[in-house]
Amino acid sequence: MDARIRQAPLIEARGDLVPRLPSRLPAGLAALLLAVTLTACGSGSTSASSSTVQASSTTTAVGPVDPAAAVLSAYRAMWADLVTAARTSAYQSPLLPQHASGNALTIFVQGLARDQLAGIVTKGQPVLDPRVTSLTPSVDPTHATLADCFDDTHWVEYKVSGGLANNAPGGLRATTAELVMKDGVWKVTQITIDKTGTC
């Protein structure tokens, strides 16, 4: 595990003692996520408009397209896969490994498994605003990092038995992700999400 990563109290408003993904992210996932202190959505080398995550079940491959666009597409597809799986807390969903691997995939699988045990599902759509912050095809064409100002306001946790799982408001959270390309496919291998109001 990267020594730069440390646990952060991402759920101060909930009164829990476990670090969480954004308050509207699946609770089990949140309990496993590690966060780092980030600069508040600083400038990056590539920008993209804010977009709502859309469901995807296709693998993102790098072809004759702009490398930065391929990285951003893989990141958005990872969230789309997670959103789909979180609707039923399907921790064994075959979508998850399509755009995530390593520590990121472990976080998602274990977190969704915890949500399933707790009877929690997550519905709605997060909003993304990612930009590539590190990508040097001429030096290392297989690694990239990006920053995002992730908005989970409309991605809400519900109890399977009915009603909201919590009343904590969502918001904007500084997020970073590391991606690695293997066999022509970009996948998120590390992801960190900071507390509400950090971007």
pLDDT digits (tens, 9 = 90+) for 78-101: 999 999 999 999 999 999 999 999
Q: What is the pLDDT, as a whole number, of residue 49?
A: 42
How far apart are the C-alpha atoms of 1 and 130, rounded to whole Å? 24
- In this predicted model, what pLDDT tens digit does every residue of 1-23 receive, in sequence order? 333 323 333 322 323 323 334 44
Q: Which residue has the higher pLDDT, 138 or 171?
A: 171
Which residue spans within 80-162 are E strands per DSSP?
A: 120-124, 127-128, 131-136, 140-151, 155-159
Q: What is the pLDDT, as a whole number, of residue 192?
A: 95
Q: What is the gyration radius of the CA atoms in the chain, in angstroms?
A: 16
pLDDT band at 26 (very low <50, low <70, confident <90, very high): low
Closest to 196 measured CA to CA, from 162, 160, 171: 171
Arithmetic mean of pLDDT, 30-43: 37
Quick one: CA dihedral 67, 69, 72, 74, positive or negative?
negative
How far apart are the C-alpha atoms of 134 and 64, rounded to whole Å? 20
Token pair, residue 10, equals 């991402």
| Domain ranges, ordered by start, for the chain | 27-37+46-196
Token pair, residue 161, equals 């038995």
- In this predicted model, what pLDDT tens digit does every residue of 96-155 receive, in sequence order? 999 999 999 999 999 999 999 999 999 999 999 999 999 988 888 899 999 999 999 999
Q: Running DSSP on this structure, what letter comes out for residue 151?
A: E
- In this predicted model, what pLDDT tens digit does every residue of 49-61 receive, in sequence order? 445 555 444 444 5
Please indicate, yes or no, whether the overall pTM of this predicted structure exceeds 0.75: no
Q: Would you say residue 187 has pLDDT above 90?
A: yes
Q: What is the pLDDT, as a whole number, of residue 21?
A: 45
Amino acid at residue number 77: A
Q: What is the pLDDT, as a whole number, of residue 28?
A: 54
Q: What is the pLDDT, as a whole number, of residue 168?
A: 79
Q: What is the pLDDT, as a whole number, of residue 65?
A: 72
CATH code of the domain occupying 27-37+46-196? 3.10.450
